[in-house]
Amino acid sequence: MVNEGPYQRQSSDSAYLFCRAAIESGHQIERVFFYHDGVNNATKLTEPPQDDRNVVARWTKLAEEHGVDLVVCVAAALRRGIVEQNLAQGFRISGLGQLVESAIASDRLVVFGD
């Protein structure tokens, strides 16, 4: 669960690096749920400076290469202007139930936020 948007705070970076390390260690990341300002990780309109990381693009890559399900909370997204129109590849918009469902089905849930 990621609660902060890209760049403003480190939460999204930490979550991404944690996911990558977990996959490299042979674990399965079933789903990353983006809530609160975390939904802002899902915009395809970012153009970060060339000499810095591209937060959105590397989430997309994680989804494509490792089948990680990137779910953006619809209620939080509507408040913040994340809709199908500006949704980056690899993300999907769905309900809060997906968070609870993941918490039930997974062995662990780790929250990254502010």
Partner 1 sequence: MLHIVNKSPGERATLDSCLAHVRPGHSVLLIEDAVYAATKGHAAAAKIQAALATAKVFVLAADLEARARAGAVIDGVVQVDYKGFVELVTQNPRVQSWL
Partner 2 sequence: MSEGAIKKFLFVNRKAPYGSVYALEGLEVVLISAAFDQDVGLAFLDDGVYQLAKGQNTKAIETKNFSPTYRALEGYDIEKLYVERESLEARGLTEDDLLVDVQVLGATEMAALMDEMDVMISF
Residues marked active site are found at 73
Q: Round to whole Å and give the CA distance between 113 and 111.
A: 6
- CB nearer to partner 2: pick between 69 and 101: 101
- CB nearer to a copy of itself: pick between 46 and 98: 46
Helix (H) or strand (E) holding 31: strand 31-34
Burial 81-102 (b: 16+ CB within 10 A, else e): ebeeeebbebbebbeeebbebb
40 binds a copy of itself (CB under 8 A): yes
Site for partner 1 in 13-42 (CB under 8 A): 14, 17-18, 20-22, 24-25, 27
Q: Are 32 and 15 in contact (CB under 8 A)?
A: yes
114 binds partner 1 (CB under 8 A): yes
**Which one of the spans 20-28, 58-66, 78-86, 93-101 is the region binding a copy of itself (CB under 8 A)?**
78-86
Q: Are 44 and 88 in contact (CB under 8 A)?
A: yes
Which residues contact partner 1 (rule: CB under 8 A)? 3, 10-11, 14, 17-18, 20-22, 24-25, 27, 107-114
